Amino acid sequence: MAPNTEPSPLVMVDSAQSFEDACNALEAAIPAHGFGLLTVHDLGDTLRRKGIAFAEQCRIFEVCQPQQAARVLTADMALTMALPCRLSVFTEAGQTKIGMISPVAMLAGLSSDPELQTVAAEVEATTRAIIGTAAMAGIPD
């Protein structure tokens, strides 16, 4: 079997920050890049409250840029299932990571509409910038 040469649909960066600092930095970076924060799910805490011995930390930030969301929904209401965008801060073996599923990769699997690919590319550029800003916050130049 040939190795998979497709780029990963997962966008992840390591951060030298603590989990809490990375969460705070992400929360600050979201509006600074024109997106709104809808809600935060503390998945790690939820699992622990359900009695699961889950050692890692994980928060999922649901974000939206209303004009971009409207463009997607105007083209295809079924894509409500792909919205809003989710950015994640999590730990893995002591390393803090910030990531998301690539909007371009996700929408490519859901629609061949060129307008939606344009929207996805614009959203991905901004969400990558949000992640990059958050990952580097507080790190001296």
CATH number at residue 43: 3.30.310.70
Q: Is residue 35 part of a domain?
A: yes
∠ CA 37-79-126, rounded to 5° = 40
pTM above 0.85, yes or no: yes
Helix axes 114-136, 19-32, angle to 10 degrees: 130
**Facing residues of 14 across strands?**
97
Q: Is residue 3 part of a domain?
A: no
Q: Is residue 5 part of a domain?
A: no
Phi–psi pair at 133, nearest 5 degrees: -60, -45
Nearest to 19 by CA among 127, 101, 94: 94
Q: What is the dihedral of CA 107, 100, 124, 103, to 10 degrees?
A: 0
Structure tokens at 106: 């996700």
Q: Is residue 121 part of a domain?
A: yes
Q: Is residue 4 part of a domain?
A: no
Q: Is residue 17 part of a domain?
A: yes
Domain that holds residue 78: 11-136
In sequence order, the 6+-apart residues with CB closer than 8 A to the CB of 74 are none
- DSSP run (H or E) holding 67: helix 66-75
Provide the residue-wise pLDDT of the chain in tens; the chain has 141 residues: 555 556 789 999 999 999 999 999 999 999 999 999 999 999 999 999 999 999 999 999 999 999 999 999 999 999 999 999 999 999 999 999 999 999 999 999 999 899 999 999 999 999 999 999 999 986 655
| pLDDT of res. 7 | 75
When divided into structural domains, the chain yields a total of: 1
| pLDDT of res. 8 | 87
